[in-house]
Structure 1
Amino acid sequence: MSKQEKIYDYSDDTSLAIETKELTYKFAGTSKIGLENISLQIPWGSTNLIIGPNGAGKSTLLRILAGKTLIRKGKLKIGGFDPFEFSMTRNEQHNSDINNYITYLGTEWAANSVVKRDIPVNLLISSIGGESYSERRDLLLDILDIDPEWSMMRISDGERRRVQIAMGLVKPWRLLLLDEVTIDLDVIVRSRLLNFLRKECVERRCCVVYATHIFDGLGKDWCDRIIHLDAGIKVDDVDMKNVKFVNDTEGKVQVDESSVKIPLAQSLHPLALHWLYHDLEERGTRAEEKIRMQKRHNDWNNSRDGKYFDADEHKLAAYFKATRSYEGK
């Protein structure tokens, strides 16, 4: 590992990743409350899921944690440091540089017209420091199944989203805030990404806070904590140690003060993973796929050359004249 790729050990940091006390946010110019009296204590090394309907305050909370939205009421500390406190000793405080290690990824990026131009993916990733973290870059390209020779103009929204995530994760982070960013990913890429994030949290003692409406594959193997928001209020805050998956033919969820019991779900998620992993094995590497697709393209052209009208445009035009009726003729 090069000097540029050195990833620091934070095992001695005794601070909390996130600490809020009665955090409240009201939207400017309105009487609408986005968040009300939200108190959290989230440790480093944890993966956290935020659940709630549209308008529950999930995005507002993540934007505040990312420093994109200011608060006027309540307290917030990231790694024990208050990003909204301004004092003469600010830069001397523990984790005062924490903002440099916070990564926020939302859905708006992929809709930006700038990233839909004819820009090669490898150039785009290099522009944000990909060369300095070449090992992480290559690992992320593999996990997210990205071809570095893709043009941003000629790929799908899901592929463009993969590039966004790779760009956001290539620099080592401590706090990762994900706001519905996996919505465009296929099942297998999403599964591989979540496994990578879990490993990062365990090995580097980082923290992920993930808001999503897609829960397939999210269980005890990934999540440490579930935070339930509704109408800007924290309704539930559940440690996954207190969650049990039980056989229940009636399919009823049981919630009490000390535990949650969830019936085992009949899900197609394992089947989708099985099929898609098989598809990936059959496809091979991106380089092998390019060779195969080029052959298919050539075979398609060759199958028509010399067979259909001897590839003669005049014969083709004559054929359509003879087989199509034209108005007025």
Structure 2
Amino acid sequence: MGGPPDQDAGLSVGAVAQRLGVAPSTLRTWDRRYGIGPTRRSTGTHRRYTPADVARLEAMQRLILAGAPPGEAARVALDGPSGGPSSPRGHGAGGNRVPVGGTTAGSDGAEVRGLARAAMALDAPAMARAARTALGRDGVVRAWNGLFVPVLDGIGRKHAATGGCVDVEHLLSTVLAGCLAAVPLPGRPRNARPVLLACAPEEQHSLPVYALAAALAEADVAASLLGARVPARALASAIRRTGPSAVFVWSQTAGTGDPAWLDGLPACRPPRRLVVGGPGWVRDRLPASAAPVDSLGEAVAELTSVLGRS
């Protein structure tokens, strides 16, 4: 009757959930806990998501997948520019600036800008020096959240705006993975049975799993990192051969987030714990045995608590 078209009225929670590849209940939780939700009200009591609302949610999701805690990711997304182009590679949040992100001991705007400049110059030695300094001073989780994530997000913003910086992102990811892999393994690990870390089948984004392996090493937890694109059959074989205390599986993209195969993973004696992370998973279809986590810190806490209980 002469009203605006459906798209002008905004998107429903179901439509936005489908677009982001998350459950509608996840969006409602983010709205309730962090205040990042729909701002437009349609007729009646239903609230609708505007394009700017969706852009902020996409920015929050990209920060979470890079390891930021959900509350901090929401704060950065709400403070940042809205409505910018989204990054298809999963790091950027639109625009051309490098966000500072959360404040952690020793990580400040100058340090973030320094690593970003080294990355843009493809200066691998300078990137490695900055990464090693942050890891040695702050530890893995703080370095990840306070330095690595903001720089990765900023490069993603540049890629979204220009279509470039693919070489920058690849080299920085390679350097960071090398620095994380160099974190010393525990001399006397707390666990007799290892923790298995793997990416879902066909999932190529493995940097967050390198970060988790390094953070577990700092916590004196022995972990076996299987890497990217681990076939379900190969993960099942590794479970049978090692009898792990826990298994962590990462899915970053919606194309790798179908959890149907997780129920087919073999059981262990004593039982192993299944933990999943990343925004790719279809959360409302996860098996009851899978414990989802939303940040690097949560993953470390969940996996170490399993060891404590055992």
What's the TM-score, normalizing by structure 1? Answer: 0.24
Q: Which gives a bigger RCO, structure 1 or 2 (Cα 8 Å, sep 6+)?
A: 1
More strand by share: 1
More helix by share: 2
Larger Rg: 1 or 2?
1
